[in-house]
């Protein structure tokens, strides 16, 4: 079989992306080969600029162009309602419903003992600090409805129990067990958000 170093290097880099196997990586590399040079340049530039010009919000951990993201810096958002998500990408899916008026808190993952991720590796401290200093009335837990997501949700419920009068809710069913928020359609996410329940 023919081995072309530059092509193989590109396939290797694509295959390092989450959810991309070798077959898909090969298809992507072939697609790039077929693209016009200016389109490849535009793709390359957008990736470089993404890395250079974006960061994670210092308040909530969502993707931002500045110190604070658009949600945290907005005067119209309710700072007393926090929606806790596993990853920054989850913010996009909830925001897309256009129905949530509070702010977010990104944990940076979920508790997963098999993967060596414990509470110390996630941003629970920041959540507790925000609840303490911002007079938060409700924390909505929007972790994925899988085993690790449920473990994480229970842990959040435990660490927030000490706050008297704080309402802790979790997204309702509507997002199937074993699925992820990013794969749910807007209506499913909206129904889950509307039907959240207290822990």
11, containing H or E segment:
helix 5-15
pLDDT for 2 equals 67
The alpha carbons of the chain give a radius of gyration, in whole angstroms, of 20
Burial (Cβ within 10 Å: 0-12, 13-18, ≥19) of residue 128: middle
Query: Mean pLDDT throughout 32-38?
Result: 96
Structural domains in the chain, CATH included, are 5-48 (1.10.8.420), 77-198 (3.40.1360.10)
pLDDT for 185 equals 72
Minimum mean pLDDT among 93-97, 136-140, 164-168, 187-191: which range?
187-191
At 143, the pLDDT band (50, 70, 90 cuts) reads: very high
Indicate the Cα dihedral angle 133, 56, 199, 164, nearest 10°: 0
Q: Is 171's pLDDT higher than 80? A: yes
Q: Which stretches of 16-146 are DSSP H helices?
A: 22-34, 37-53, 88-95, 124-133
In percent, the amount of the chain with pLDDT more than 90 equals 75
**Do residues 111 and 118 lie in contact, with contact meaning Cβ atoms separated by under 8 Å?**
yes
- Does the model's pTM come out above 0.85? no
Residues 6+ apart with CB under 8 A from 168: 138, 139, 141, 156, 157, 160, 161, 198, 199
Give 36-84 pLDDT, tens digit per residue: 999 999 999 999 999 999 999 999 999 999 999 999 999 999 999 999 9
Q: Look up residue 172 and give its DSSP letter.
A: P
**Do residues 138 and 82 lie in contact, with contact meaning Cβ atoms separated by under 8 Å?**
yes
């Amino acid at each position: 079989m023919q081995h072309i170093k530059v092509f193989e290097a590109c396939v290797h880099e694509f295959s390092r992306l989450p959810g991309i196997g070798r077959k898909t990586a090969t298809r992507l590399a072939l697609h790039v080969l077929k693209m016009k040079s200016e389109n490849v340049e535009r793709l390359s530039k957008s990736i470089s600029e993404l890395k250079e010009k974006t960061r994670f919000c210092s308040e909530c951990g969502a993707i931002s162009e500045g110190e604070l993201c658009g949600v945290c810096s907005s005067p119209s958002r309710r700072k007393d309602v926090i929606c806790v998500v596993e990853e920054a990408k989850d913010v996009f899916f909830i925001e897309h419903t256009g129905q949530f008026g509070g702010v977010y808190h990104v944990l940076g993952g979920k508790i997963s003992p098999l993967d060596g991720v414990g509470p110390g590796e996630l941003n629970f401290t920041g959540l507790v600090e925000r609840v303490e200093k911002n007079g938060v009335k409700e924390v909505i837990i929007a972790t994925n409805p899988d085993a690790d997501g449920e473990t994480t949700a229970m842990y959040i419920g435990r660490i927030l129990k000490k706050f008297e009068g704080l309402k802790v809710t979790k997204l309702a069913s509507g997002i199937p067990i074993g699925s992820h928020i990013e794969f749910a359609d807007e209506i499913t996410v909206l129904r889950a958000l509307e039907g959240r329940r207290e822990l």
